[in-house]
Structure 1
């Protein structure tokens, strides 16, 4: 099993970062334009991609302006059973975001750890751009 950890600074309040990570209108600004989500522990966040690619993540921990934690329940890759964590810390220039994907099984039927890391780097850049400029680069179909 592998972990991916990435940290970045975003010039936005922790509350704005939180809503971009937890609410459908936020997620569609940086990840995919097909999202369903409910702001409640135990609910599923669903992110869809073309050709049937669907990610379903159960919200396992949630605190406005502080954290969003998901447990992956369905994925077109080897992500089932992994945990995705978004931890937010206020700083003078906005928010320090600590992203993690933990206990990730990769390589058998999905992407390599390098491909998965590169994908997250792309979408984390999209998240940062969305929050700082109002324009992210989500997957659109």
Structure 2
């Protein structure tokens, strides 16, 4: 198994503010995809839709201002059963987002694509919390035919 890992520092925002962007439908729609629906509580399912498809994430863990963890319930076969985790901490005036998308079977082309896309969306999260405006799909950076 292999994982996608990223670390992003969010300036002038508390872990609570970042946590809100990760745990509300409006927050998620502000940085990942504007086609976000669902139940953001533990045991609920969030639906994220993109061009050309989407993902359903079961919310498996919420620790206020510290951790968000989802399990992929539906989407591309490479994603189903993997976990997405956001761990938050505060260091020197920054909220540090430690991101993990774990459980990939192998590091193929699609995983490489998704790693790059996660990086762009994490920068969108940073932008949303710092400025009030993110760059969610379909306003994100297109990097390939997978979008």
Same fold per TM (> 0.5)?
yes
Instruction: Describe the SS at the equivalent of 2:57.
Output: strand
Q: Aligned match of 1:128 in 126, 129, 140?
A: 126
How many Å apart are 1:35 and its aligned residue?
A: 0.8
Superposed CA deviations along residues 22-64 of structure 1, whole A, max 9, x for unmatched, are 111001111111111323211101111134x121011111011
How many Å apart are 1:94 and its aligned residue?
A: 2.9
Normalised by the size of structure 1, how large is the TM-score?
0.89
Contact 1:13 1:94 in 2 (8 A): yes
In 1, Cα distance between equivalents of 2:78 and 2:138? 23
Instruction: Describe the SS at the equivalent of 1:88.
Output: strand
Contact 2:23 2:68 in 1 (8 A): yes
In the superposition, relative to structure 1, how do residues 113 and 140 fare at CA in structure 2: closer, same or farther (>3 Å)? closer
Where structure 1 has 5 or more consecutive residues not aligned to the other structure, the ranges are none
* Runs of 4 or more above 4 Å deviation: none
In 2, Cα distance between equivalents of 1:78 and 1:20? 26
Alignment-derived partner of residue 49 in structure 1:
50
Instruction: Describe the SS at the equivalent of 1:28.
Output: helix
In the superposition, relative to structure 1, how do residues 87 and 107 fare at CA in structure 2: closer, same or farther (>3 Å)? closer
Alignment-derived partner of residue 58 in structure 2:
58
CA RMSD of aligned residues (A): 1.7
Where structure 2 has 5 or more consecutive residues not aligned to the other structure, the ranges are 140-147
Alignment-derived partner of residue 20 in structure 1:
21
Normalised by the size of structure 2, how large is the TM-score?
0.86
Alignment-derived partner of residue 32 in structure 1:
33
